Structures are given as structure tokens and as C-alpha cells.
Amino acid sequence: MSVVHIVAAGEIGGAERMLADLASARATSGRAHSVALFTPSDALRALFRDGGLDVDDRGPVREGPLPYLASTLGPGDVRWLTGVLERRRASIVHLHTFASQVLGTRAARRTGARVVRTEHSTRVYDDPSCWPFSRWSLRRADAVVFISEHVQKVATARAGRLLGDRTKTSLVYNGVDTARFAPRDRDASAARVEPAAAPTGARPLRFVALGRLDRRKGLDLALEALAAVPDAELDVVGGGDERAPLEALAARLGLGARVRFAGHADDVRDAIAAADLALSSAREEGLGVALLEAMAMDRAVVALPTGGIPEIVRDGATGWLAAERTPEALAHAMRSAIAAGPAERRRRGSAARERVVETFSLDAMRAGYEAVYARLTP
């Protein structure tokens, strides 16, 4: 009853962090979990290995269209992966990334293992260059798991016939470790006394944006919004190819010390603890693991109403949702959060924590996937 998770990725994102938690589930599920890894990233290797996971590492691989085609359609990587599945006696092959879909499906078909796909985003359904490959794998999957109702809706509209009846699909929200991401006061270096009756603008309110710096995360929109909210500051925590253009944009907008680019952090809890509120300006978002982590630490969220975010952030209850997906609307929501005052921000932060514990816990996620595995391995 072994599950081998296939990951082909170049950097750490929500899907990879979710998998690190899921693949450590052997203690509760009784199944052996391991990861077959194709990556050029030492940070991603460290994420899995430092977490104590069993990892079969293909070694440093190259990224790009031609290396992808060689790995996906050629004989070398599928032969190596087939050997891993045989050695691990895999009964289930769990696919998490686009680059793993065809490769993992080919190897699973050679060994007779069942195939589970988790749809972490809508990318493969929206991108014409991805869809032919993803469709081939989807047709041969035994189970498909969506991380949000939004992803499920997009996938069903594009590939309803391939998904078959409802017995093939499941909705399992990503979960976070609510014990690890526990509430705590802001760090002493960031703590500032805020009287209950403090007027708006008495001190800058600190927002934190967590995640990869790429266009999908929309950090340019966050910077444009910040420029219109002078009594706010922003910590940007994450690495990626967009850092230099974003730093240049921040300079053009005259943001100065109000925005800080912290780079990649192996542990984001300090950054969350130092902030008053979490901020999301994503253009595309399947669900938002980073937001769940911030919510678990008692931080309310200000966000654009993108993808699956409205499923976790309830306007007026656990945060503030912008009316539109524009910098102007995001700036208005940020100003509303500032004007609401500390007591209201704390109330929504506490409600955010409660929502994560009730619906988006690690235990709930593991139970959801165990139900999927059990249906395939009676």
C-alpha cells in the first residue's frame, strides 16, 4: 500500500509545501509515502529531505520546453521512474505538477499502479501549450482531486467528459499544520503599541505578501495599491524571476522603505508574526496555502477576489475582499482594514484562525486523500 508522489518542479510553491505535509502522513494513514523528484532546485530537495521524507532524486535536471519534451516523451526518465515504482512497490502514483503528468502516467501504466492527479491550479486547462499533454494523462487517471471549488468548476467546464462521473473526482482542500502555524504576538522588533482609539494613520500598518514572485501572483498590483495607501507598509517574502522588475517598479512608484523584499524564507512564520495583516494580489490562485498559513496565525487577509480565495477569505468575517480585481479596489480594501481599527482586525484574525481549524486543517486534508486512496486500493 505504497504511495509515490511525483514532483517535477523548479521552485517551492504551495503545491510543494502541501505535498511535504501530505507525504509525511505515514504515521496516521499506515501507508508508506515517498517522493520521486525531478528538479534543479536544491531548496526544493531540502524541503522534502529536511522534512524527513523518503526521496528518490533523479538528480539535477534542466528546465525549459526541450528538456520537458525529452523527459516526458523520451525513454530515460520513464525507465528510471518505473524502477522507483517497482522498488517502492507502489500501488498509487500521485501526480502533483504539470511536468509530472505524462511522465508519471507512463510509468504507472508500466507497473499497474493506479493514478491520482491533484489539480493545484487551472493552468493546464487554460494554457493551450499544456492542454494536449495534460489531457492525455487526465484520460488515464483513476482519480482526480481538486483543491478548490474554483479549480473544479474550471476543469469541469473544459474537460467534463474526460472526468467521467462523480466517483472519479473529489474536492479536498489544502490543509496547514495549525499547531505549527499557531497564533503569536508580533515580534518585539515589529511590535508597536496601538491605543484602542488611535486615529487612522497614527502609524503605518504592516502587510505581508507571501509566495513566488511571478506574474500570476500579481505583486505589481500590490505595489500599485500600496502607492495609494500612504499609511501602510509591505513585506514581500518569496523569490522568483520577477524580483528585479518589482524592485524597479517600487522605485518608480516612490515607495522607498515602505516596501521590503525579503527573498525566499524556509520558514515564513517570523514574517507572518511581524505583520498586522496578510495581503494577496494574485491574478490566478487555485486556493492559497500561504494565506491559510497566515490565517492560522490569527492574521486577517486583504485580497483580490481571485480564483479560490473567496472560498477561504470571507469578506466581513475573516478579512477584506476587494470589490474588483484592480489595484484601486485593492487599495480601497487596504484602507478599509486600516480604518476598521485594531479590535476589528483582531476579531477577523481570530475568526480566520477558527475557519482554518474547522475546514483547512492538515488532518482534514489527510483524511480526504486517504478516502481517495482507499477507494482505489480496497
Average pLDDT, the chain: 90
Task: For residues 346-368, give the mean pLDDT.
Answer: 94
Integer CA distances (angstroms), 298 to 54, 294, 317, in order: 33, 7, 13
Helices (H), 121-218: 123-126, 131-140, 149-163
CATH number of 2-175+361-376: 3.40.50.2000
**Torsion angle of C-alpha atoms 220, 222, 225, 229, degrees rounded to 10:** -130
Reported as a single tens digit per residue, the pLDDT across 125-138 is 989 999 999 999 99
Q: For 69-93, write each residue's pLDDT tens digit.
A: 999 999 999 999 999 999 999 999 9
Q: Residue 357: which pLDDT band, with cuts at 50, 70 and 90? A: very high
Specify burial of residue 135 (Cβ count, 10 A radius: 0-12, 13-18, 19+).
Answer: middle
Residues 227-239 have a mean pLDDT of 95
Do residues 98 and 134 make contact, with C-beta atoms less than 8 angstroms apart?
Answer: yes
**Residue 8 predicted with pLDDT over 80:** yes
Q: Which amino acid is at 246?
A: L
- Give the pLDDT mean for 26-37: 78
- State the average pLDDT over residues 266-281: 94
pLDDT tens for each residue of 180-213: 999 988 655 454 433 344 444 467 899 999 988 9
Choose the weakest-confidence range: 73-77, 164-168, 192-196, 361-365. 192-196
Average pLDDT over residues 244-259: 96
**Dihedral sign, Cα of residue 344, residue 345, residue 350, residue 351:** positive
Q: Taking residues 289-311, what's their average pLDDT?
A: 95
Average pLDDT over residues 329-354: 96
Q: Would the pLDDT of 22 be above 60?
A: yes
Helical H segments across the chain, by residue range: 14-22, 26-29, 42-50, 65-73, 76-88, 98-111, 123-126, 131-140, 149-163, 219-227, 243-252, 269-273, 289-296, 309-312, 327-340, 342-359, 362-376
Residues of the chain with CATH 3.40.50.2000: 2-175+361-376, 205-359
Provide the pLDDT for residue 189.
42
Interaxial angle between packed helices 76-88 and 98-111, expressed in degrees from 0 to 180 and rounded to the nearest 10 = 60
Residue 28: pLDDT band (50, 70, 90) is low
* pLDDT at site 198: 42
Q: What per-residue confidence (pLDDT) applies to 66?
A: 92
**Topology of the domain comprising 205-359:** Rossmann fold (3.40.50)
Write down the pLDDT at residue 63.
84
Count the residues in the chain.
Answer: 378
* Whether pLDDT at 252 is above 90: yes
CA angle centred on 141, ends 140 and 145, rounded to 5°: 155
Question: What's the confidence (pLDDT) of residue 26?
Answer: 57
Query: Model-level pTM greater than 0.75?
Result: yes
pLDDT, mean of residues 288-308: 95
